[in-house]
């Protein structure tokens, strides 16, 4: 996780663990999104670009069977444990791209949804799952802005991120660190949109209500 955070610009100190323990493998064919796969003449699957969890995330959409295979492109409220409760918070690295991905998959005709971390979802559960993902990001905004309003002199950037991380729900404490990725990206966006200001002439940087 530390290395992943470094690669996405969250941490400043490069991690030392190797990116992969497997030997390099030859890649014969790469997809970028927009391609169409035909397993047979009457069956086709579309390769869709669904960034957010990563910049280059891809999904498969099977029009014939009205099924989508999105892996970790959408997390809902987070990644659940096998027993009950959440194991991990959402881990979107690019929140604005994720919102575009949500809009894309919400407009597909899907009867069955396959993800990386949740059981197979029938049609009746899919819209609620997508709505939960959108509400999770909305909660991040509300918690962050409420915290700034309670602290008129502002809060250090690390404090603001910690505020959002703590709003990630019932995940085990040791796993809340994963939420630093969407928290940092959302902070950047709120500053860009003018909802949050940064006091940059002091250290550490402080966020204030705009």
Q: Where are the domains of the chain?
A: 2-209
pLDDT in tens, 116-152: 888 899 988 999 999 888 888 888 778 878 888 888 7
Whose CA is closest to 114, among 70, 158, 57, 60? 70
Confidence class for position 101, pLDDT limits 50, 70, 90: very high
Distance spanning both ends of the chain, measured CA to CA: 33
Which helix (H) or strand (E) segment is 49 a member of?
strand 43-49
pLDDT in tens, 12-63: 444 455 555 667 778 888 888 999 999 888 889 999 999 988 888 999 999 9
pLDDT in tens, 169-203: 667 777 777 777 777 777 777 788 887 777 777 67
Of 52 and 159, the structure prediction assigns the larger pLDDT to 52
Contacts of 135 (CB under 8 A, 6+ apart): none
Cα 95 to Cα 131: distance, rounded to the nearest angstrom: 15
pLDDT in tens, 75-96: 888 787 777 777 777 877 788 8
pTM over 0.85: no
Cα 91 to Cα 117: distance, rounded to the nearest angstrom: 12
Confidence class for position 103, pLDDT limits 50, 70, 90: very high
The whole-number pLDDT of residue 2 equals 42
The whole-number pLDDT of residue 36 equals 93
């Amino acid at each position: 996780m530390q290395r992943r955070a470094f690669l996405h610009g969250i941490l400043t100190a490069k991690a030392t663990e190797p990116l992969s323990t497997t030997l390099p493998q030859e890649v014969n064919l790469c997809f970028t999104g927009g391609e169409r796969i035909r397993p047979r003449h009457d069956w086709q699957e579309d390769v869709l670009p669904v960034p957010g969890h990563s910049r280059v995330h891809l999904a498969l959409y099977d029009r014939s069977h009205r099924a989508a295979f999105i892996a970790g492109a959408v997390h809902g409220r987070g990644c659940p444990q096998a027993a009950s409760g959440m194991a991990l918070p959402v881990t979107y690295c690019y929140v604005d791209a994720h919102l575009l991905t949500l809009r894309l998959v919400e407009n597909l005709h899907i009867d069955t949804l396959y993800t990386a971390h949740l059981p197979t979802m029938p049609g009746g559960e899919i819209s609620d799952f997508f709505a939960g993902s959108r509400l999770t990001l909305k909660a991040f905004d509300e918690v962050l802005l409420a915290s700034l309003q309670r602290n008129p002199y502002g809060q250090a950037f690390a404090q603001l991120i910690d505020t959002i991380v703590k709003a990630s729900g019932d995940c085990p404490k040791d796993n809340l660190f994963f939420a630093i990725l969407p928290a940092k990206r959302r902070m950047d966006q709120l500053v860009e949109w003018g909802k949050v200001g940064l006091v940059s002439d002091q250290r550490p940087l402080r966020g204030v209500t705009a």
